[in-house]
Amino acid sequence: MIRRLLAEWLGTFSLLATVIGSGIMAERLAGGNIAIALLGNTIPTGAILVVLILVFGPISGAHFNPAVTLAFAIGKKITVGDSLLYVAAQILGGISGVLIAHVMFDNLLIDPSTTVRTGLGQWVGEFVATFGLIGTIFGCLKARPEAVPFAVGLYITAAYWFTSSTSFANPAVTIARGFSNTFAGIQPENIAAFIVVQLIAAILATVFFNWLLGDGAEAT
């Protein structure tokens, strides 16, 4: 369990260091062009997800996401106790990743975001992003488990652009990004609604895709 929790912590740490670090770099280099900044944030995020799932998947399953852990817990692929430990490791890892990104780019260590992300459109975007992420994982686990790292990385890359919220799809990521007043941040007051929508989407997606995929909807 120690190895699994360390893998979840380090994986989520690396994910957030990439999300925030690339967001800062992209914003600084984009010259005010938001589309270019978003592209500069998107590509590293999708790429690092592939790497992290390939590296840590054999150790912990490479959840890095309480919504994914919840989906696996519903399917009884992980116990409730282990799930809670996973979520704690993910949240702590995410916050640590934000802090190290701030250190690297000489930002304030703790700098709560002022970026407002709220409203029906944003919430629907988070629902769509999270629902699709769970479906991507479950579908690949049935048909081609070895494709999960690449499918998840590609899905998040796409969802950055086709969802209004730029696809957080992850409660740990959402919490951690509240600590960063940068391009990738979210105002702390907006975090709770995002998380509620993400968890509802994860539950509904788990039920739906277990039905759709039948006996092959296995999670590891």
List pLDDT tens digits, range 139-149: 999 999 999 99
List pLDDT tens digits, range 63-117: 999 999 999 999 999 999 999 999 999 999 999 999 999 999 999 999 999 999 9
- In which band, very low, low, confident or very high, does the pLDDT at 219 lie, cut at 50, 70 and 90? very low
Portion of the chain with pLDDT greater than 90, in percent: 96
Show the CA angle centred on residue 93, arms to residues 86 and 44, nearest 5°. 115
Domain count, the chain: 1
- In which band, very low, low, confident or very high, does the pLDDT at 173 lie, cut at 50, 70 and 90? very high
* Torsion angle, alpha carbons of 79, 214, 150, 126, to 10: -70
Domain range for 157 is 2-216
Separation between Cα atoms, residue 213 and residue 19, nearest integer Å: 32
Residue 161: strand, helix, or coil: helix
Does position 218 have pLDDT exceeding 60, yes or no? no
Domain of 139, CATH number, reads 1.20.1080.10
Residue type, 186: I
Residues whose CB falls within 8 Å of the CB of residue 84, separated by 6 or more in sequence, listed in order: none
Residues whose CB falls within 8 Å of the CB of residue 49, separated by 6 or more in sequence, listed in order: 15, 149, 152, 153, 156
Separation between Cα atoms, residue 190 and residue 161, nearest integer Å: 20
